[in-house]
Amino acid sequence: MKAVIWQGTNKIGVETVPDPTLLLPTDAIVKISSTAICGSDLHLLDGRIPSMEKGDILGHEFMGEVVEVGRDVKKLKVGDRVVVPFNLACGVCDPCKRGFFSACDNSNPNHRMAEALYGGVSGGGLFGYSHIYGGYAGGQAQYVRVPFADVGPFKIESDLRDEQVLFLTDIFPTGYQAAEQCGIMAGRDVVAVFGAGPVGQFAARSAQMLGAAQVIVIDRVPERLQMAEAAGAMTINYEKEDVLTALREATGGRGPDHVIDAVGMEAHGHGPGALLDEVQVKARISFDRITALRWAIMSCAKGGTVSMPGVYGGLIDKLPMGAAFAKGLIFRMGQTHTHRYLGPLLSRIEAGEIDPSFVITHRATLDQAPELYKTFRDKHDGCIKVVLNPWG
Amino acid sequence: MDNPNGATSSMGHSTTGARLQTTERLLLASLGLGLMALGTRGGNVRRLAFGGAGALAAVLAARGSNPVATAMKIQTDSSGETRVSDGVTIGKPAAELYAVWRKLENLPNLMRHLQEVKVLDDKRSHWTVKGPLGEVSWDAELTADEPGKRIAWQSVKGASIENGGEVLFRPAPGARGTEIVVRLHYRAPLGSTGAVVARALGEEPSQQLRDDLMRFKREQELGFHPTTEGQTSGRAAKQESQQKDRPQSQPGGSAAAQGGTR
């Protein structure tokens, strides 16, 4: 089969590899009908996520048809049409039972790598996302092996198009969880979203669905800001205005009640803090450039929430903790508990509350993936979200 | 004071790093003095190098802590035993988990560095371990057996590597199952230096214990071990072009397992 392969930093290729096989009786094989490139794949492209190995198959947003099931798989059968969460969860450990699926105790076979980095505990495995997260082959391919087949894959029984349900695998639940964990008071709260990439777009629309009185989106890319405006959000271009001043003005000096940092570790920005980050990252004593997080904390209203769907990797310093303390902020963060949201969000799609396909700007074949990774990274050609057809 | 959670080591020793043993300290002290003596002669650079190294060795000998071993997170107690401990929470009742451990002949399945445990009688058993320098075996004796709560053992006198350990089973707060805590102790040949050498040879008891506990948890909670071994990748493609007969997938089998296209 054809698959998108990580060949080294800034080297992505399409290769012919053997078809996946069942490795455990709880596995299924899915023939992929649609797959996407995620913003977090760009951290892999530029080599910022450690423990990638040459030859790894990329991709964690995919859906398709079940073509084979292991003998212990009970809920899925051949022919089922499924979306597959980007994270793997066992469904039986304590974190899974409490709904913290991304913190699954049991799904990462390389737990010792993550434990060494992250304080003696490992999160669950991820598809196509480095060996710290299990080293599972990803879904930018024609077929994929899906472990824990009775836990992750979610059946789509309506006739919704792939493009309407594909993003249930990651960016829609990720944006939704970011908004949900703000605890928005409907009709009252103002929510600011830093970063208008795909997750930021879904966070903004989710905040609206949850009743935010106003949503303000901050970015620098005109196409992204336009997409947010189309949904009725107010926008700020941080390259043209001072963000903190603009947010104070927009909120009558209070600041947004909740702030979502949909940027994470590779924030652009300016000022002394951004310069310090840049120097530390270049010197390899830090992974994270945190301008967006600093702005989030500095702008947030008293008693507000800083919700962080954006990914951070390591140790952070020069974080305005005094401001966070003075304002009594709540911090919510972490990998998405995707499994929790599949059913409820599918219902919202079916009810016509949202059509997630709004975010797609580029459609291509698998063979064009290497080129589109770069188009997406460089934000050329108005690129916001890429969907690939493995059979085109 | 009785601690219901057993948070204090029941073995009664604190471990805050690796201590040098008396022989190690004596050797280090005489090395330091020797270097300092060499440093009284020759040019300034030589004086500074030998004098400095000698003084450092002497200070280390006097302080008694082994900085290399401590940096490697090796823990020893005041009697010179190396200590390793870890814990895991498993969603099953203590009695059930205890029963698995109590069958000592099962232990090599749980603790992978164990080669074999032969039960000799009610109390005694014969243990074989594959160490960094070959096979080692000894007789051990149960020193405590509290069903559903605790199992402890100790090597009998004359063992080549003096060692012992205990496993605690205690209910986790809430409906989370059982906390299992394993504490192992052994007298590494050559004291803390020996522990450093063993670690350098690839034996990492604390990592082994962690892996063992996670394997046990997964066996108990899932009934299988998640794996990516044998999955397809860009590496597999290259291997396959070199070897024609690709092994079939184990369970189920499939057309794809023979490397066919769908």
Predicted pLDDT at A267: 81
Q: Among candidates A184, A51, A199, A189, which has minimal Cα distance to A114?
A: A51
- Range in A71-85, B11-25, B53-67 with the lowest mean pLDDT: B11-25
| B91 with A92: Cβ contact below 8 A | yes
Instruction: Answer whether residue B38 shows pLDDT above 80.
Output: yes
Chain A residue with CA closest to B229: the answer is A23
Residue predicted with more confidence, B254 or A251: A251
Question: How far, in Å, CA of A283 to CA of B155, rounded?
Answer: 51
Q: Which of A70, A92, A109 sits opposite B221 (nearest CB)?
A: A92
pLDDT score recorded for residue B44: 84
pLDDT value for A388: 98
- B4 — pLDDT class (breaks 50, 70, 90): very low
Confidence of residue B18 (pLDDT cuts 50, 70, 90): confident
Q: How far apart are the first and last CA of chain B?
A: 68
Nearest to B254 among A22, A57, A88 (CB): A22
Find out whether A259 and A181 touch, Cβ atoms under 8 Å.
no
Per residue in B144-186, pLDDT (tens digit) is 999 999 999 999 988 878 899 999 999 999 989 999 999 999 8
- Interface residues from chain B to A (CB-CB < 8 Å): 89, 91, 176-177, 207, 210-211, 214, 217-218, 221-222, 224-238, 240, 246, 249-252, 254, 256-257, 259-262
**pLDDT band at B199; cut points 50, 70, 90:** low
Closest Cα to residue B233, out of A140, A47, A61, A86?
A: A140
Tokens of B121: 């009688």
H or E stretch at B27: helix B22-38
| DSSP 8-state code for residue A166 | G
In this model, does residue B132 exceed pLDDT 50? Answer: yes
Pick from A109-113, B27-31, B65-69: least confident: B65-69
CB-based contact, A70 to chain B, within 8 Å: yes
Q: Output phi, psi for A134, to 5 deg.
A: 105, -25
User: Which residue in A has a C-alpha nearest to residue B227's C-alpha?
Assistant: A109
Give the ipTM. 0.90
pLDDT tier at B14 (50, 70, 90 boundaries)?
low
Q: Which residue has the tokens 């290497």?
A: A370
pLDDT value at B262 more than 90: no
Tokens standing for residue B201 = 């040879």
- DSSP for A184-251 reads --TTT-EEEEE--SHHHHHHHHHHHHTT-SEEEEEES-HHHHHHHHHTT-EEEETTTS-HHHHHHHHT
Q: What is the pLDDT of residues B75-124, one digit of tens each?
A: 777 777 888 999 999 999 999 999 999 999 998 988 888 899 999 999 99
Distance CA A339, CA A168 (A): 9
The identity of residue B83, as a single letter, is R
Stated pTM of the model: 0.86
Residue in B63, B86, B62 with CA at minimum distance from that of residue B73 = B86
* Residue type (1 letter), A51: S
The minimum CA-CA distance between A107 and chain B, rounded to whole Å, is: 6
pLDDT over 50 (residue B256): no
Quick one: pLDDT band at residue B16, thresholds 50, 70, 90? low
Q: What is the pLDDT of residue A202?
A: 98
Gap between the Cα atoms of A183 and A161, Å rounded: 31
Residue in B228, B232, B250 closest to A19 by CB: B232
Dump strand ranges (E) for A134-186: 143-146, 154-155
List all residues of chain A from 100 to 119 with a beta carbon under 8 Å from chain B.
105-109, 111-112, 115
Residues A114-134 as b or e (16 or more Cβ within 10 Å = b): bbeeeeeebbbbbbbbbbbbb
**Spans of chain A below 50 pLDDT:** none
Packed helices A272-282 and A291-299: angle between N→C axes, nearest 10 degrees: 150
In Å, how far from its chain's centre is CA A211?
22
CB-closest option in B91, B217, B236 to A18: B236
- Neighbour count for residue B44 (Cβ, 10 Å): 7
Across the interface, whether the CB atoms of B227 and A145 are under 8 A apart is answered no
Q: Residue holding tokens 């102790």?
A: B185
Residue of B nearest to A13 (CA): B234
